[in-house]
Amino acid sequence: MPKTMRATAGLILLGIIAIIIAVQTVCLTEPIDLSSLRWSIKATSTTGLSSQPDADARALSFCTGITLDASSTLFIADYENSRIQKKISNALNLTTIVGKANINSTNTSTTLNLLTDVAVDSTGNISGADSATGTGKKNELGSLSGTIVAGENGAGKDITQLFCPHGIYCDLATKSLYISNFAANNIIRWVIGDHCWTLVAEV
């Protein structure tokens, strides 16, 4: 390589090194503000009381699942109270729309038993994962009485049973419930009207 080219290349290399040192110096002496790249570290309580869990209409007890509908209405799986609570945006109080507080030993069309999750489809129908009875229940819009649409054969690992379901999602297009079958370690799909599920994923 000619001396002139070597000298030019050397100057370019020195220039690059100088720029790197300058950038490092700026970064060390002037920290970059990354606050805009993270969520706020402060949360605001929007529902429930901040005291002990309770069955009061304003309170929740070990809520385990939530979902929002298109109008930003919040639906809450109030686990220990075995009910679904509804909170309209900006409203102060909750409304019980399915289930009854402190009634965990029954399995009727109007009760739930240790509800773990809730789903709402685009038509307003509500589905819940009832962990203690191993069932998925569906309530038509505005109805306090629900029907069992998944399970109903006791808790277990058979394809006609659910085993402590913990998560639920309603797919209106296929008229199916996708359920996290917690104690069976799998995810299943139950078409409403069928008597058994099909496997989606398992460990």
CATH, range 63-202: 2.120.10.30
* Distance between CA atoms of residues 168 and 188, nearest Å: 10
3-state class (DSSP) for residue 15? helix
Structure tokens at 5: 């080219």
Q: Which of 68, 63, 108 is nearest to 81 (CA)?
A: 63
Mean pLDDT of 85-104: 81
The model's confidence at residue 15, banded by pLDDT at 50, 70 and 90, is low
Domain boundaries, the chain: 63-202
Burial of residue 151 (number of CB atoms within 10 Å: 0-12, 13-18, 19+) = buried
What confidence tens digit (pLDDT) does each residue in 123-137 have?
Answer: 899 999 998 889 999
Q: What is the pLDDT of residues 44-70, one digit of tens each?
A: 666 666 556 667 777 788 889 999 988
**What one-character-per-residue DSSP string does 150-201 give?**
E--S-BSSSTT-BSSEEEEEEETTTTEEEEEEGGGTEEEEEETT-SS-EEEE
Is the model's pTM score more than 0.75? no
86 burial type by CB count under 10 A (0-12 exposed, 13-18 middle, 19+ buried)? buried
